[in-house]
Amino acid sequence: MVTDRAAAILRVRRNYSEMGHHAITNTRRHIAEEAARILAEQSHLSTDEARMRAAKRIGCTDGCQFPDNLEIEAALKAYRLVFHHGHADTLLRLREMARSAMKSLIMFYPQLIGPVLNGTADRHSCISLLLFAETTEDVILRLLELKIPWQEMARRLRYGNGDSQQRPLLSFIADSTEIELLVLTATERRNPPIDPVAGGPLKGADLTHLDQLIRGGNSVDG
């Protein structure tokens, strides 16, 4: 008789396969699934750290069998669907909060990125937005108008030409959820930085795209 856990694992694998990862080896899939479980339980870890821990647990030292970031992301999305009750509701709440923030910052052409967009977020995840502004001060002035206290940091980004540059990162708390604003220059709408997960140009969702995701109800497709 198939146990509930075995049935759940089969569902994870079916969901993972349906996300477009058909031609992978069993070892590669097992590492992706184990890395997803590790990330779900230890969200402070990076994808690279989870991948290496998963490979060590499975006993694989062949780097050619290691899943890429997108494969682990797909496995994590499927894992949350199966094992995290209420995941779809949590994701919908975070996306609705993102939409509200984006409407308040519409003059900076906001785009949603990260776990809330791709469907891997949990209730502890922050909402990550890209903003495009002439100066960081323009964004700060808008936060002052909205009476929102913020903290300012910086994040280093990679670009397609090989450059690595720091960009301002403003963060604040809304309804116990962190919202971070990565402020890029206006020209970076056409020349965005590199997506650390996918490896290509960073692509976010504008309000129109986000509205479509929210109207999709319980869909977690980013």
Q: In this predicted structure, what is the pLDDT of residue 217? A: 60
Q: In this predicted structure, what is the pLDDT of residue 88? A: 84
The answer to whether residues 138 and 174 belong to one domain is: yes
Q: In this predicted structure, what is the pLDDT of residue 1? A: 41
SS3 63: helix
The answer to whether residues 170 and 102 belong to one domain is: yes
Q: In this predicted structure, what is the pLDDT of residue 138? A: 97
Helix axis angle for 87-104 and 69-83, nearest 10°, is 120
pTM over 0.75: no
**H helix runs in the chain, sequence order:** 4-18, 26-41, 47-58, 69-83, 87-104, 115-118, 136-145, 207-215
Q: In this predicted structure, what is the pLDDT of residue 11? A: 54
Structure tokens at 47: 């994808």
Domain limits at 51?
Answer: 4-83
Residue 222, domain member (yes or no): no
The answer to whether residues 9 and 21 belong to one domain is: yes
Residue where a domain terminates, one of 83, 117, 140:
83
Q: What is the CA radius of gyration of the chain?
A: 19
Q: In this predicted structure, what is the pLDDT of residue 198? A: 81
Q: In this predicted structure, what is the pLDDT of residue 14? A: 58
Residue where a domain terminates, one of 36, 68, 83:
83
The answer to whether residues 92 and 106 belong to one domain is: yes
CATH number of the domain encompassing residue 130: 3.30.460.10
Domain count, the chain: 2
The answer to whether residues 17 and 58 belong to one domain is: yes
The answer to whether residues 123 and 208 belong to one domain is: yes
Residue 220, domain member (yes or no): no
The answer to whether residues 110 and 147 belong to one domain is: yes
Q: What is the C-alpha separation between 28 and 67, in angstroms, rounded?
A: 6
The answer to whether residues 135 and 28 belong to one domain is: no
CA nearest neighbour of 39 among 85, 80, 11, 93: 80
DSSP 200: S
Residue 28, domain member (yes or no): yes
Question: Could you tell me if 129 and 182 are in contact, meaning their C-beta atoms sit under 8 angstroms apart?
Answer: yes
Profile the chain (222 residues) by mean pLDDT over runs of 10 residues: 49 53 71 86 83 89 87 83 77 96 98 93 92 97 97 94 93 96 94 88 95 74 48
The answer to whether residues 33 and 92 belong to one domain is: no
The answer to whether residues 119 and 207 belong to one domain is: yes
Q: What is the C-alpha separation between 182 and 156, in angstroms, rounded?
A: 10
